[in-house]
Every structure is written in structure tokens, then in C-alpha cells.
Structure 1
Amino acid sequence: MMTSEACPNSSGTAPPRDPVPDDACDAHIHVFDARFAEAPGEKLTSTPAQATAADYRAIQRRLGTRRAVVVQPRAYGTDNSATLDAIAQLGAARTRGIAVLTPEAGGAELRRLDAGGIRGLRLTLHAAAGAPTRFDMLMPLAERIAPLGWHLQLHFQAAQIAAHAAVLRQVPCQLVFDHLARLPVGGAHADAAFALVRELLERERAWVKLSGAYLNTHSGPPAYADTVETARALVRIAPERLVWGSDWPHATEEGHKPDDARLLDLLSEWAPDTATRTAILVHNPARLYGFA
């Protein structure tokens, strides 16, 4: 049941305009918990001091979502302890996670993470300087995780997607592109990146997260009107390979935080059909992340 309440790291108090279906999933959140040490040098200026699993429960009450995917933030490097702890706190049956590792991680560590609810690895290279992973790790990581049925989640800029097209076509596991694949409004690399994302969607080799509208806009909130064309195009191409995420606690957004309910309302603009939205919120994440 949705509620009206103030939530940490989120503006507004009202719930979304429309109730979400049962078992709706927020497929992209981060947790920052002061009980866990951050990796040296990884602190970002906008990283929240606290955005805990307990804080996120207020977002779930407000949105009406039940399932969640906790994505390892850059701040913790390759120590996935905070992410595993958040999965356990939010409930292992309805929460999954995305970890960050380098190819040196052993089989025992992969099995431990799998048992803890991890279902993929993230490469956050949109700003590559100081990141715990590198582009040359992409294929070795894909080969390590393919036998587990995990996927690689990529936070790449459009230019990076286009530049690494040959490798992305060959990876032996599924790919998940973060934040509308960071497809820009115009720009020199938009067409090439979109063409590759479309190819991989149609080949059933990739998924896209309908998230992070504020990372892909010139028009800005609350409507993020210039994201509509890209999002609707993705919905037309492969509605069965899309998931939605809030990106709470919006670590890139300094000062005024987005309104998570209004971000969920965007999905009605991007996917006006009720059955399609139900697939994006329930059925698609159930398949991708292995919810019962």
C-alpha cells in the first residue's frame, strides 16, 4: 500500500499517481551505510553520508514497490559488504544485488555472493578515472560470471558504448545498460550507441534500465520531456527487456533531490499501456533477477 510521507534523500511526500502492481520492483537503488568503510579516494562530493536500507523502506512504502535491486556504489570499491547487508535487511526473498569485482576474485567469493543474492557485476566507467574496474576487465569478468547466469551491468556513456561495440557483441553473458543507456539528446555518438543497443535488445543479448532521467536531459524536472522519445523508442523495440529503477538516493544529484514518486510517474509517459508497465515493473525483473 502506498503512503504519503517524507523520505530521506527524496523530495516530495505524495505517492505516485497510479498504484503499482503487486510485486513491483525498483531495479536500481544504492545504499550508503556509515557502518561500512568506504574505499580510499572513492568518496564523491554528492555521496550521501547515510542512505540505509532502513531509510529505503520509507521509499518502498511511498511507492508501493515490494522488490528491489541494490547496486554496489562506487564509494565501496570491490568490498560488497554493505550491499549484501542491505539485501539481507530488505529481505532475501524480494531483494537482489549487483556487485563490483575484478577478475582476480576467486570462485569461492563468487559462490558466496551468489548465495547472498548477487545476480550481476557492475562496471561504472562513465567517469573512468579512479574506478575500481577498467574496460579491459569487461570480457574476463563476463567469462567468469556466465556459468552462474549473472549479467554485466554497464554504466557507460553513449560514446563508450559505441567505442566498445565489437566487445559488447561478443560477451558470453547478458548485458544490462544503466540509465536509458545514457543515450544523449543529440550528440555525435547518439545514433551509433542507439543502433548497438537496439541490435543487442533484438538479439536478446541485452536489457535496459528505464532510470536516471536526470542524467539524460536538457529540459530537466519535473517532466524530463526530452527523455520521452528515447524511452518510448526502447519500449517499442523490446518492452520485454526493460526494467524500471528509481536510482535512490540519487548520489549524482547535489542539493535538491528528485521526487521518487514523480520519477515513477514518468513510466506512464514512457509506457502508456498498463500491461507493458506491469511487465516492466513485475515480470521482466522477475526473469532478469530470478525472483520467484
Structure 2
Amino acid sequence: MDISYPNSSGARRPVSVAPEGACDAHMHIYDRRFALHGSPDAMVDKATADDYPLLQQRIGTQRTVVVQPRVHGTDNSVTLDAIRALGAANTRGVAVVRPDVSDAELERLHAGGIRGIRFTLYTSANAATDFSMVEPLAQRVHALGWHVQLHWSADQIAAHAELLARLPCTIVFDHLARLPLPNALSHPAFDVVSRLRENGRTWIKLSGPYLDSKAGAAGGYADTTAIAQAWVRQAPERVVWGSDWPHPTEPVAKPDDAALFDLLSQWVPDAATRHRVLVGNPALLYDFPEMTTKTEKPEK
């Protein structure tokens, strides 16, 4: 019997086999039981913590990072609940907070598995935060060992280069740093992020190829390969992979998650490096415990 995978096209398994302890370091949970922020049209159905394990079964990942979606605003209850439901030992979260968040709340979030905060500012629509909040919040979460995760456009990255250079904590750029194609490597943001990566605490998420690809699914997102490989060459120890399930930016035609997982083999052809991207790197970035079975240990 064919299995239907919520918010994912196709039914085949990936050709690539996920290693033991592989992590999907970027996905979202949407659940109508929790408070909504902004337009309810941004809600994604069949994207709860009960739905996601089907995707894990399909692509073979065992660990995951739940990233608070904008539709749930700063009520991180949905993400904390998902961490519990998916298993606290193998699940971490990235929250959304504002400067009025209390120290006690930050401690509660940490205990619940949160290891970073996100600023989704590539568009102003329904944004729960703004650029003025980035630096003061970065100062506070740095004390907890958290990172700031940025979904910004390439133009925004370039415009805020000085701000980024001042941040004391680890920085994680979403979705290949959203460099526009076909001339991604010539955009000023590429140099900005490259300089930041020299500090040893700036990471890239290999995710969301459909966001900027001109080739699209029909072309296998082939035009994203050069920029993904560039990020990996720079610092293979500071890249992670994410599915971006349930693909909230793609409401009409959902991507094939098996194809997205197989794309990683083109982005990272070397098997040992790919193992690091899927296992060791996320274990280090997200503070996962050591696996009880034999897996790659993160480098300290």
C-alpha cells in the first residue's frame, strides 16, 4: 500500500541512505491548538508533531530541530510541545522572542530544548521581531550558549554587515543565506557572510533550494549546487542540512522530500563530509547528547 506523506510530493524513498544519528536541522510544526499570530492564511495543516514522523520514516533522519514558524508568533508553546512529542533526547528547538522576554522565560525555554532564537525578516509581513531587536537579544542569549538564526534576504545581510560583525554569539544563516541566482557568488552578501565565517562561529543551513532556484524542481535545483558547495568548501565543520518541511513558502506544489535529501549528495559529494553535515555538525551546534550506538562524535 502506498503511503501518503503530508506536505510532501512523491512517495519514493531517497536513493541516499541517512547515517545513524542524521539530523533534519530545519523544519516547522504548525498546530491549531496553539495561538496564532498575524494572518491565519499562513497556517499549514497536517503539519503537527503527529504528522512529521512520517517524513522521518521516509528520509531516514532520527534527530530534528523544530524552528518556530511565524504564524505562531512568540508563543513558543507549539515548539516546546513538539520537542516533547518527538522526544527530548533527539529534538531541539529554535524560538522567537522579543526584548521583553524575562530571564526566567529564557531559562524555561532552555530547559525545554531551545538552543537558539530566530529573526525572520526577509519580508515584513507578520514579522514578530525587527532589526533593532537583534543585538540586544543576541547579547542575552549568548550567555545561554544559544545562537541567533537569521532568515534575511541577501540585500538585508549586506545592508546590516556592521551589525552582524558586532554580534557576540554564534550566527546561523538560513537557506544558503538566500543569495540570489544566477549570480549568487557575486552578490555583496557572499563576501559579508564569508568574512563572518572566518570568526569560527558562523554557520550555514543547506536548505530551501526552491526559494531562490531558477531551475526549479524540473531542473533538479541544479543552479543551487555551486553556492552550496562554496559554503561547504569554506567551512565543512559549520554547515547543517534541513528539509524545511512542511515547506510553508510552497503552498501550491510541495517539493519532493526524497529529491531534496538526494540533492545533498550533489551539494556535498564526499561521503565523510556529508556524514559530518548530517551527524557531527548538528550534534555540536544543537547540543545533542552522544548517541548510545556508534556514531561520529562532534569535534570540540
TM-score relative to the length of structure 2: 0.93
State yes or no: 1:31 paired with 2:41.
no
Q: How far did residue 192 of structure 1 move?
A: 1.1
* Aligned twin of 2:297: none
Asked whether the equivalents of residues 65 and 93 of structure 2 are also in contact (C-alpha less than 8 Å), the reply is: yes
Q: How far did residue 172 of structure 1 move?
A: 0.8
Structure 1 runs not aligned, ≥5 long: none
State yes or no: 1:137 paired with 2:129.
no
Q: How far did residue 54 of structure 1 move?
A: 1.1
Aligned equivalents of 1:190, 1:239: Cα separation in 2: 21
The residue matched to 2:65 in structure 1 has which SS? strand
Q: How far did residue 191 of structure 1 move?
A: 2.3
Aligned equivalents of 2:259, 2:72: Cα separation in 1: 29
Counterpart AA for 1:116? G
Match of 1:120 among 112, 116, 121: 116
* Aligned twin of 2:293: none
Aligned equivalents of 1:119, 1:276: Cα separation in 2: 24
Q: How far did residue 42 of structure 1 move?
A: 3.5
Q: How far did residue 6 of structure 1 move?
A: 2.2
Where do residues 52-201 of structure 1 align in structure 2 (5 Å cutoff)? Answer: 52-186=48-182, 191-201=187-197
Match of 1:279 among 276, 279, 289: 276
* Aligned twin of 1:240: 237
Aligned equivalents of 2:47, 2:27: Cα separation in 1: 10
Aligned equivalents of 1:206, 1:24: Cα separation in 2: 21
Counterpart AA for 2:232? V
* Aligned twin of 2:224: 227
Counterpart AA for 2:151? H
The residue matched to 2:217 in structure 1 has which SS? coil
Aligned equivalents of 1:164, 1:172: Cα separation in 2: 15
Q: How far did residue 201 of structure 1 move?
A: 1.5
Counterpart AA for 2:60? G
Counterpart AA for 2:51? D
* Aligned twin of 1:260: 257
Q: C-alpha root-mean-square deviation of aligned residues, in Å?
A: 1.6
Asked whether the equivalents of residues 34 and 50 of structure 1 are also in contact (C-alpha less than 8 Å), the reply is: no
How many residues get paired?
288
The residue matched to 1:281 in structure 2 has which SS? helix
Please give the per-residue CA displacement for 1:15-54, whole angstroms capped at 9, x wherever unaligned: 1102111000000010011211212x24344x31331111
Runs of 4+ more than 6 Å apart: none
Alpha carbons of structure 1 residues 183 and 22: separation in structure 2 relative to 1, 3 Å: same
Q: How far did residue 242 of structure 1 move?
A: 0.2
Counterpart AA for 1:251? P
Structure 2 runs not aligned, ≥5 long: 290-300
Aligned equivalents of 1:35, 1:159: Cα separation in 2: 36
Aligned equivalents of 2:69, 2:222: Cα separation in 1: 28
Asked whether the equivalents of residues 42 and 77 of structure 1 are also in contact (C-alpha less than 8 Å), the reply is: no
The residue matched to 1:154 in structure 2 has which SS? strand
The residue matched to 2:177 in structure 1 has which SS? helix
The residue matched to 1:176 in structure 2 has which SS? strand
Asked whether the equivalents of residues 49 and 86 of structure 2 are also in contact (C-alpha less than 8 Å), the reply is: yes
Counterpart AA for 1:11? S
TM-score relative to the length of structure 1: 0.95
Where do residues 199-210 of structure 1 align in structure 2 (5 Å cutoff)? Answer: 199-210=195-206
Aligned equivalents of 1:20, 1:60: Cα separation in 2: 10
Please give the per-residue CA displacement for 1:92-132, whole angstroms capped at 9, x wherever unaligned: 00000000000110000000000000000000000024311
Please give the per-residue CA displacement for 1:169-217, whole angstroms capped at 9, x wherever unaligned: 1101000000000011146995210011111122212100000000021
The residue matched to 2:280 in structure 1 has which SS? helix
Alpha carbons of structure 1 residues 89 and 251: separation in structure 2 relative to 1, 3 Å: same
The residue matched to 1:175 in structure 2 has which SS? strand
